[in-house]
């Protein structure tokens, strides 16, 4: 079967929402685009679609950033939180179980994350990764309560964080896309204001 989106020079590529090309084996910061990310994540369902409602990665990312903001984290940390899943705009939202099966996937995902971090000026130090992971797990517990079906199997979830008191109401794709872009602009403005004051 012929692959119609392939170039020998940089490997397989995908056409983005804005009409550009993104090369998964050669991700470049200059080819990252926030509108592409917002649009793709607003059409990407969490949990491979195994939710009671259409719940979007863009919405999830906004919640993680919002909750960190509410708990006093600075704008730079909240900006990293907003973009913690932005690689999925280019790789898709693959479950952790499948990532473990696909041995080379995590390396590819890491390279895409690095390109995104460079583009957005994000420095994801280990401590910041830990903060974001903590809120990602809070989101998991909250999403499990509000959006997943009850577990009727004998299989058990691992240790869970306490869910956030806020109830998650799923958004439509255009709402999630708009929220993501608005949150991105808001945090950039806060970062710039802090730099101007210092």
**DSSP string across 57-78:** HHHHHHHHHHHHHHTT--HHHH
Domain map of the chain by residue range?
12-149+159-197
pLDDT in tens, the chain (198 residues): 556 666 668 888 999 999 999 999 999 999 999 999 999 999 999 999 999 999 999 999 999 999 999 999 999 999 999 999 999 999 987 777 887 777 788 888 999 999 999 999 999 899 999 999 999 999 999 999 999 999 999 999 988 899 999 999 999 999 999 999 999 999 999 999 988 887
Question: Is the pTM here over 0.85, yes or no?
Answer: yes
Closest CA to 24 of 117, 97, 87, 93: 87
Q: Compute, in degrees rounded to 10, the torsion defined by CA atoms 174, 48, 94, 158.
A: 120
Among residues 122, 130, 113, which one has the least CA distance to residue 37? 113
What dotted CATH number matches 12-149+159-197? 1.10.3210.10
Distance CA 153, CA 85 (A): 29
């Amino acid at each position: 079967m012929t692959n119609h989106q392939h170039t020998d020079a940089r490997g397989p590529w995908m056409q983005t929402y804005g009409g550009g090309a993104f090369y998964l084996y050669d991700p470049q910061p200059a080819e990252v685009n926030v509108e592409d990310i917002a649009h793709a994540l607003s059409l990407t369902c969490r949990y491979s679609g195994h939710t009671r409602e259409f719940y979007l990665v863009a919405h999830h990312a906004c919640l993680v950033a919002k909750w960190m903001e509410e708990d006093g984290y600075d704008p730079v940390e909240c900006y990293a939180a907003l973009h913690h899943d932005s690689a999925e705009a280019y790789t898709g939202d693959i479950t952790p179980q499948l990532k473990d099966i696909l041995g080379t996937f995590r390396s590819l995902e890491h390279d895409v994350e690095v390109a995104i971090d460079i583009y957005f000026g994000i420095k994801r130090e280990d401590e910041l990764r830990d903060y974001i992971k903590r809120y990602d797990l809070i989101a998991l517990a909250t999403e499990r309560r509000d959006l997943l079906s009850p577990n009727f199997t004998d299989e058990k979830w691992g240790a869970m964080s306490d869910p956030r008191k806020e109830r998650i109401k799923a958004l439509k794709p255009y709402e999630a896309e708009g929220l993501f872009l608005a949150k991105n602009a808001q945090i950039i403005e806060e970062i710039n204001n802090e730099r101007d004051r210092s």
